[in-house]
Amino acid sequence: MTNSKDRLRLWLRLLKITRGIESRLRDALRREFDTTLPRFDMMAALSRHPEGLKMSALSGVLRVSNGNVTGIVDRLSAEGLTERMPVPGDRRAMMVRLTTDGQAEFARQAEAHEGWVDELLGDFTADEARTLATRLMQLAEKQDKKEMTNAL
């Protein structure tokens, strides 16, 4: 078998397992917390930036449109989980950050999420998981560099 066929088979297997895991995580978030994966992802991004992020930066981190970010922030803000703040010196820009309630809620969800992922990937030893994660990160970094080069 050629190398390209092996790589194609790898891609298809990665895609299948990723979609399956994502589907299970979506279901668990909906069932346990009455929330969605995009909302969880946004709260996760904001938890890594306690000072807040500009809406445009949040779009970039999540790799989604500004419109998608605005809709999710609107809903999270209505529930008291995020807050918007003006950006000094830029009347058009807004910063978003988790509220204290948002931080507490994200901590609850993140703990459950980690347990679900641990269970779903429990067939991997810690060493196997680290090795595979490192290799996939290297691949992602290489792809990001290619995207940046092509964008110039």
Q: How far apart are CA 92 and CA 104, in angstroms?
A: 29
pLDDT tens digits, 40-71: 999 999 999 999 999 889 988 898 888 889 99
Yes or no: say if 33 and 109 are a contact pair by the CB < 8 Å rule: yes
Which DSSP string corresponds to 84-137?
EEEETTEEEEEEEEE-HHHHHHHHHHHHHHHHHHHHHTTTS-HHHHHHHHHHHH
pLDDT tens digits, 78-126: 999 999 999 888 888 889 999 999 999 999 999 999 999 999 999 999 9
Strands 53-54 and 90-98: antiparallel
Provide the whole-model pTM: 0.86
Yes or no: say if 39 and 72 are a contact pair by the CB < 8 Å rule: yes
Q: Name which residue leads in pLDDT, 9 or 146.
A: 9
Mean pLDDT over the full length of the chain: 93
SS3 78: helix
pLDDT of residue 1: 54
